[in-house]
């Protein structure tokens, strides 16, 4: 039987891995590292750096593979994502079969926490034959963002809502929400909101050497975030960012 370990690596900093994650990494017979093209080569390099620093089991093999690309032109977003996940599942199956066979332990290093806005678990359940799946949670981008700004996520006794940039842009400010954490924003969805009375805490490359954090009233700081984000993406070829929005009460 195959055991598939999905190991949360936070935002890519080796110290964002838990001790359980380190143990799972060193228990693996095979570690798969996806490549996402030349523009996003840093993502593979960060995984390599984690393995160099934390992998002490000399018997563990590291194999890199090219990740299928989602069709970003399709109007039916859900269908495009479903097809993409099926392609990734077939790629995982092929790599596991070629390098591990029918039994052993394989590990994948997953950004953030595999349970939150990540499809690794959904993809893993498509594999045939079905592996035993174990999850080692990591630090989420939201946790890293709050730590970077030294703020609590919610106010005393108050809930918060986690949503995507796509939904925020399409539907606007969630009804009755006071605190909104936004993930998977391919652009700057906060620009679609009425900024009056909103405060933003934004961060990119959280936990990395080139971490950037900005905060302030949305109507004041939004142009700076937009410009900073554009420059950072041009410099690195990719960007991972997230932000928290709160209604100001004073």
* pLDDT tens-digit readout, 38-82: 766 777 888 999 999 999 999 999 999 999 988 878 888 889 999
State the pLDDT at residue 31.
98
Q: Is 167 helix (H, G, I), strand (E, B) or coil?
A: helix
**Span 94-135, pLDDT tens digits:** 999 999 999 999 999 998 777 776 789 999 999 999 999 999
Give the span between the Cα atoms of 172 and 194, in whole angstroms. Answer: 9
Residue 157: burial class (beta carbons within 10 Å; 0-12, 13-18, 19+): exposed
The answer for residues whose C-beta is within 8 angstroms of residue 244's C-beta and 6 or more apart is 142, 145, 146, 151, 153, 179, 180, 181, 182, 200, 201
Instruction: For residue 249, count other CB atoms closer than 10 A to its CB.
Output: 8
Sheet containing 61-66: give its strands across.
61-66, 30-35, 104-110, 2-8, 132-136
Statement: residue 200 has pLDDT above 80: yes
Higher-pLDDT residue of 5 and 138 is 5
**Span 1-21, pLDDT tens digits:** 999 999 999 877 788 889 999
CATH class of 2-139: alpha beta
**Span 21-32, pLDDT tens digits:** 999 999 999 999
Residue 176: burial class (beta carbons within 10 Å; 0-12, 13-18, 19+): exposed
**Span 155-193, pLDDT tens digits:** 888 899 999 999 999 999 999 899 999 998 989 999 999
Statement: residue 139 has pLDDT above 80: yes
Ranges assigned E (strand) in the chain: 2-8, 30-35, 61-66, 104-110, 132-136, 161-164, 179-183, 198-204, 212-217, 241-247
State the pLDDT at residue 77.
83
Domain boundaries defined on the chain: 2-139, 142-247
Cis link prior to 129 (omega < 30° from 0)? yes
Superfamily in which the 142-247 domain is placed by CATH: Tetrapyrrole methylase, C-terminal domain (3.30.950.10)
Q: In this structure, what DSSP letter does residue 68 have? A: P
């Amino acid at each position: 039987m195959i055991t598939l370990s999905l190991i949360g690596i936070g935002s890519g900093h080796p110290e964002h891995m838990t001790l359980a994650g380190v143990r799972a990494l060193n228990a693996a017979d095979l570690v798969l590292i996806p490549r996402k093209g030349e523009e996003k080569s840093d993502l593979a390099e960060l995984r390599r750096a984690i393995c160099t620093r934390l992998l002490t089991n000399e018997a563990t093999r590291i194999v890199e593979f090219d990740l299928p690309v989602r069709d970003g032109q399709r109007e039916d977003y859900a269908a495009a994502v479903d097809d993409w996940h099926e392609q990734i599942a077939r790629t995982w199956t092929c790599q596991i079969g070629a390098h591990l066979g029918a039994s052993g332990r394989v590990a994948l290093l997953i950004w953030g926490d595999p349970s939150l806005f990540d499809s690794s678990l959904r993809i893993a359940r498509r594999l045939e034959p079905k592996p035993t799946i174990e999850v080692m949670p990591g630090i989420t981008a939201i946790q890293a963002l709050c730590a970077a700004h030294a703020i609590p996520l919610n106010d005393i006794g108050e809930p918060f809502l986690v949503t995507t940039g796509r939904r925020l842009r399409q539907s606007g400010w969630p009804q009755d929400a006071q605190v909104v954490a936004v993930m998977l924003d391919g652009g700057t969805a906060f620009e679609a909101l009425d900024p009056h009375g909103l405060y933003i805490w934004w961060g990119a490359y959280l936990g990395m050497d080139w971490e950037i954090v900005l905060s302030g009233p949305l109507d004041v700081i939004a142009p700076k975030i937009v410009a900073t984000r554009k420059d950072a993406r041009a410099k690195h070829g990719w960007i991972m960012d997230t932000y928290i929005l709160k209604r100001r009460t004073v």
